[in-house]
Structure 1
Amino acid sequence: MASELLLFFLAVFAINLLPAFGPPTWSIIVLFGINTDLPLAALVGVGALGAALGRLVLAYGFRFWGEHVSDRLRANLAAAREAFERRRRNTVLALGLFALSPLPSAQLFAAAGLAGVKLVPFTLAFFAGRLVSYSIYGGSARLVERYSLGDAFKEVLTSPVGIGLQLILLAGLVMLPRIDWARWLGRK
């Protein structure tokens, strides 16, 4: 059981290092829930932990990359960070809703890393939201037993809506440091 749980953690962690086009973590939870005897609570807890840690490492990777951009882009990212962190209540609400939604989170973490947002609270909110959403997905695993990991990959890589959403989020990520946030938000 411990080796299955470690394999599960590593699979979830690795998938959450991908900046785009990875299968959703819930599909890995469903796959392991159907094909192993691991308890649902362990799958949900370890899955949420693996996802959160994978996204945190992804964000730190983008933070490192963001330190090597031009001064102009770095100033734009600092203004974006200031705008994001200015209203704590709205930030927590938006992050909570995003963490519970089925939207891809990789680009959100990449943007947070680039902008230099405080990543630990950001990741903790993501972890809490994923505990809830993975519990829902994992609990309904028996209803979708015929859904395979191959189907999840195929859907991510062939769904026009999924591809379009990933491309839009990637374009937003590319544009994030190029926007003069200080001017756009009316600051010097």
Structure 2
Amino acid sequence: MWWQYVLVFCGALLVDITPFPLPPAFTVMIFLQAAFNLPIWPVIIVGVLGSALGRYILTLYIPDVSGKLLTPEKNEDIRFLGEKIKTSGLKAQFFILFYTLLPLSSTPLFIAGGVARMKPYYMLPAFLAGKLTSDGVAVFMGKYAAENTTSLLNGIISWQSVITLGLFLILIFCLLFIDWRTLIQHHQLKFRFKIWRWRHRN
């Protein structure tokens, strides 16, 4: 039975290690829990640990990716945003916890944290607490909603998934194109679209 939990761990890790919009980790947990009839709480715990490791790895490599894709000015802007979050202390922890309780992708949060080179211990505890709660609720609900594999797969591409994808794209747009330094320091909303290195060279 142990290999089934390895699948849960690896599946959650793989969907959360990427900066691209993939189905949330709890859909992997629901699918494998239903497919193998696994006890729910071990699935939740193992899946959340895999998800946390995936996000940790994302923060390690995303600075190099952003350094190659984004202009130095935009990287500095995202680092400034991350520093503001980091220096907010307990408020930032509550923000991360609240954010992970919402049905939103945590990818933009960890991209910002990774580019800002925030320490993993600063983000992961609140992330783990939030994901144990939100993914736990999702898996319990999925146990009753997913009577078979077909219904589960249909649920993954439901209107909720479309909304989640839309919110993910909006958050990524805001992270990349809002001038955060201007917004935070001068309270002015300003967009910058010349953020890509190849456009900057031209």
Partner of 2:103: 102
User: Are 1:77 and 2:78 an aligned pair?
Assistant: yes
Q: Distance in 2 between matches of 1:158 and 1:85?
A: 30
Partner of 1:125: 126
Task: Give TM-score scaled by structure 1 length.
Answer: 0.83
Partner of 1:93: 94
Paired residues of 1:155 and 1:162 also in contact (CA < 8 A)? no
Gaps of 5+ in 2: 187-202
Q: Distance in 1 between matches of 2:10 and 2:159?
A: 20
Task: Give TM-score scaled by structure 2 length.
Answer: 0.78
Give the partner amino acid of 1:13: L
Q: Distance in 1 between matches of 2:45 and 2:107?
A: 19
Higher relative CO (Cα under 8 Å, sequence separation at least 6) belongs to: 1
Give the partner amino acid of 1:174: L
Paired residue secondary structure (1:148) = helix
Paired residues of 2:79 and 2:116 also in contact (CA < 8 A)? yes
State the percentage of identical aligned residues. 23
Identify if the C-alpha distance between structure 1 residues 76 and 21 changes in structure 2 by more than 3 Å, giving closer, same or farther: closer
- CA RMSD, Structure 1 to Structure 2 (Å): 2.5
Partner of 2:57: 57
Identify if the C-alpha distance between structure 1 residues 75 and 87 changes in structure 2 by more than 3 Å, giving closer, same or farther: same
Give the partner amino acid of 1:42: P
1:15-40 Cα shifts (integer Å, max 9, x gaps): 11232321122222221222213221
Deviates more, 1:6-15 or 1:74-83: 74-83
Deviates more, 1:26-35 or 1:44-53: 26-35
User: Are 1:155 and 2:158 an aligned pair?
Assistant: yes
Paired residues of 2:96 and 2:123 also in contact (CA < 8 A)? yes
Paired residue secondary structure (2:108) = helix
Structure-to-structure mapping, 1:39-58, within 5 angstroms? 39-58=39-58
Deviates more, 1:106-115 or 1:62-71: 62-71
1:87-129 Cα shifts (integer Å, max 9, x gaps): 2121011111012111111121112111222222202211121
Work out the number of aligned pairs and report it.
182
Paired residues of 1:156 and 1:163 also in contact (CA < 8 A)? no
Identify if the C-alpha distance between structure 1 residues 91 and 145 changes in structure 2 by more than 3 Å, giving closer, same or farther: same
Deviates more, 1:139-148 or 1:109-118: 139-148
How far the C-alpha of 1:4 sits from its partner, in A, is: 0.9
Give the partner amino acid of 1:173: L
How far the C-alpha of 1:184 sits from its partner, in A, is: 4.1
